[in-house]
Structure 1
C-alpha cells in the first residue's frame, strides 16, 4: 500500500531543520497532529531555493524564529485528512502555495522538507495527471516566472524576449515564453546554464558580452520587445532599460534589496517604456497548472542534483557552493 495511507503513517519522521542560524541538521521529530480543518501531507519532491539559504543565514524578508523546517517548493501526497476536510482524500497528489496571509510556508511556519507536514486545503492544488512529483516540485518557481510574464502583458510569436539571468526562475521564464511562441534569447555568463536554456527551447543563449551584437543583428537593431530581468544584479537591472525597444516592456523579477547601480532612467520616458515588477505568484496557481498540463512542458532539466532526505544538508548547499555545476537541487522521498 502507499506510504501515504493513513493506517501506515509512523509516529516519528525525519526532517531537515534549521536548528539555529547557520545550523542545518536532519533530525527526528514526532509526526505533527492535524486539526479538523487540516491535512497531513507526505512530501515527495522538495526543491532547494536561494531563499532557504537566506533563512538559514538569518536574513529572510519577514520575521521568523528558529528552529524552523524549510521547504516551499514541493509536491506531495495526502496522508490524512481532518474530519471537516471534503476537498481531498488520502492518496491525492498535491502542490501548495507558500504565501498564506501574513505567513510564509517554509519560513515563518514549518515547511515541506520533512517526511510529513501539515497544510490547509485552501493552500493546496491537485497535481494534474501526467505531471510527475519532480515536476510538481518545480511548480512554485515556474509560477513565479509565469506570473511575471502575465503581469507584463504576456508574449506570443510576434515578440522577441530577452531574459537576463538563467537561474531557476530565469530558465522558467525561458520555458514559458518559448511555449507561448516568443523568440527567446537568454543572457547568462555560466555555460551550463546557457545549455539548460537551450534545452528549454531558447532560440539563443549568449554570454553577456555578446548581447550588444545580438541586438544589433535583430532586424531593426532597436532592441527587444520584452526584457525580463531575472538576475537580481543591480547593474543588470539598469542594463535592461538599454536593451529594450521603443515602446517595449521591462519586467523585473530578480530580487535585490539595498544595493545600488547607476541607471539611465531617462530611457523610461524617452522610449515610452512599460515597466512591471513582480514578486511571488499570487492568485495564479490554477492557471499555471493548466498551462503546464496543456503545454506538456518538461522542466526537469532544471533539476541537476537529487538527494534523499538523509543527505538534505548536502542538497541545501549544492547550488550555492558550486553554482557553475548546479541549477536546482531536489530532496526526494519515495512514495
Structure 2
C-alpha cells in the first residue's frame, strides 16, 4: 500500500509499505479523503506540542471505509463509513502515532464514529475542523437568530464557525482581508463578509451602534484578539478559538468589566464528536467548498506544498480509492 510519510524533518515522501496487521481491538480502514492541516506542516517542520518521532504517517482529518475488524470489535463491520477522533489520551493520531494519510491504516474501535449517510466522504474529512468550530460555539452558548455574530478570520476554522453560526440562525458577519476567502464565507451563508477596515461602519449600521452580540476570534493574532473586546456590544459573548502562545498586544481590558462581557476560550473538540456528526447530518451543512485542491495519494507531497500557499489554498485534500 502507498502512504505519505514524514521520514525526517522537512522530508515528506510517498512510500510503498506492507498492509498493516490489526489486533483484536483494532479496525483496518481504507482512507477515502484526508485533509492537510497547518499543524501537519508544523509537524513536518519538526515542531509540535507533544513529543513525536520520525518516520511517521500524518493525517488527522479523515474519512474512511472499514475493510476488516479484529475479533473483539463489536460496533463496526466491513463496509461501514467512519471518522475518528485525533486526541486519544496522551496520544495524538497523525502526530505522536501514525495517522490516516495512507491507502490503509489502523485505528482502535474506541476512537471511531459512524459517518452518517447524509455526510459525504469530503465532508467527513472536514468533521474534525468543524468539530472545533462547533465546540467553540457551544461553549459560547445559546447562539441563535437574535444574535449578530462576527467571525474574525476566514481560515478553515473561521469558515467552519461561519457555517455553524449560520445553521444556528445567527446574522453572521465574517471579517477577512482576502477577497477569495470572503467569497467562501458568503457561499456558506454569511450575511456579509468584509475587509477589516469596513467592519466598524457596517456593524454600526446593522446594530444601531450597539455592537456585536457574539464575537468569535479565529485568527490567533494578538492585535485581533484585542480588537474583539472593542467590537463586542454590552453583555456580549466572546469566544477565542484562534491559537497564539507567547506574543503580546495592547488590549483595553477594562472593557471586559464595563461591557459585562462573557469570555470563553476553547481548544480542540473534546467530547462533542457525536453531537457534531448529528448537527452536520441534520442541518445538511456542506463544507466541501473549503476544499480548493484535491490530489491522489501519489501526489500527496504536492498537497503539502499547496497547504503552504494560503493565498490560493483554503484546504487541500488527498483522495483515495483503495480496497482489499
TM-score norm. by structure 1 comes to: 0.95
Q: Are 2:311 and 1:329 aligned?
A: no
Per-residue CA deviation, residues 242-288 of structure 1 (Å, 9 max, x unaligned), is: 11111101100011112111111111111111100101111101110
Q: Alpha-carbon deviations, 1:174-233, whole Å to 9, x = none? A: 000001100000000001100000000000000001111112212331210000000111
Mapped contact 2:162–2:172 kept (Cα < 8 A): yes
**Structure 1 Cα separation of the partners of residues 14 and 223 of structure 2:** 38
TM-score under structure 2 normalisation?
0.98
Q: How many aligned positions are there?
A: 322
Shift in CA distance, 154/21, structure 1 to aligned 2, threshold 3 Å = farther
Distance, in Å, in 1 between the alignment partners of 2:255 and 2:54 is 45
The alignment yields a C-alpha RMSD, in angstroms, of 0.9
- Among candidates 142, 150, 159, match of residue 154 of structure 1: 142
2:15 alignment counterpart? 27
- Identify the residue that residue 219 of structure 1 maps to in structure 2: 207
Q: Which residue, out of 249, 268, 275, partners 2:256?
A: 268
User: What does residue 65 of structure 2 align with?
Assistant: 77
Q: Does the CA-based 8 Å contact 2:103-2:321 persist in structure 1?
A: no
Runs of 4+ in 1 over 6 A off after TM superposition: none
Whole-angstrom distance in 1 between the partners of 2:142 and 2:69: 38
Aligned to 2:181: 193
> 1:290 maps to which residue?
278
- Separation in structure 2 between the aligned mates of residue 26 and residue 213 of structure 1, nearest angstrom: 50
Matched, 1:102 2:94: no
Q: Distance in 2 between matches of 1:319 and 1:32?
A: 28
- In 1, distance between residues paired with 2:230 and 2:42? 31
Equivalences for 1:15-164 in 2 at 5 Å? Answer: 15-164=3-152
Q: 1:100 and 1:317 mapped to 2: Cα distance?
A: 28
Shift of 1:59: 1.2
Unaligned 5+ runs, structure 1: 1-12
> What SS does the aligned partner of 2:293 have?
strand
**Residue 319 of structure 1, CA deviation:** 2.6
Which residue, 198, 202, 205 being the options, matches 1:210?
198
